[in-house]
Amino acid sequence: MGLIEDISRFLETRLDEYIRKNPQMELQVLLEQLKQQEAEVLRIIVDFEQKEQSFQEQILAIAEDIKLWHERATKASQSNRQDLANAASDREASLLKQGNQVWGQMKLTKQRLSQTQELYSQIKERIQEVQLKVEQVAKSKPIDETIFNWESINPPPNRNADDPLEAKFQKWEMDEEIARLKRKMG
């Protein structure tokens, strides 16, 4: 298993290096992540909408039951059946309490739905901004299509690929660009 793990680490390292050297690819990865978030948030929106619909249906059913028990309480009271009138009034009060609880749950679901829809809008905007940036980068610098060539696996000494300062600057420059994009997006 050691050989497989070594190969896996080697490939992950090379992929990370490739992505760092190709800002367009890093933006593509970011774009893919945003699209995954968009799909997940859309699924959550649909779930909240279904819950809201379910709560509305429950509230309507409870309202019908409240109406029925109110009428029964009134009818029993008019017929001097206080035992039935009291029981019907208790049932009506219980249903009102239940209706208030469902109403509160529906209100909370509506708030969460609204927040999630706002998040969805923000993600859509970010996707558009990243897509624009991808297009700009593509025009300015083509993607290096050769992921694994001999030089990337075994760079010549004059390229300073192992130079820690060079690596720090490349990481810093990429972080600056990502931070700039984040500021622009949000």
pLDDT values of the chain reduced to their tens digit, one per residue, 186 residues: 566 677 667 766 766 676 667 667 777 878 888 899 999 999 999 999 999 999 999 999 999 999 999 999 999 999 999 999 999 999 999 999 999 999 999 999 999 999 999 999 999 998 898 888 888 877 776 544 444 343 444 444 444 557 788 777 777 777 777 777 777 665
The pLDDT of residue 142: 55
Measured CA to CA, the distance from residue 76 to residue 84 in angstroms comes to: 6
pLDDT value of position 20: 67
CA of 151: how far to CAs of 9, 14, 44, 161, in Å? 19, 12, 46, 10
**Cα 130 to Cα 39: distance, rounded to the nearest angstrom:** 17
Q: What pLDDT, on a 0 to 100 scale, did the predictor assign at position 72?
A: 95
Closest CA to 71 of 99, 55, 95: 95
Cβ neighbours of residue 120 closer than 8 Å, sequence gap 6 or more: 38, 41, 42, 45
Q: What is the pLDDT of residue 153?
A: 41
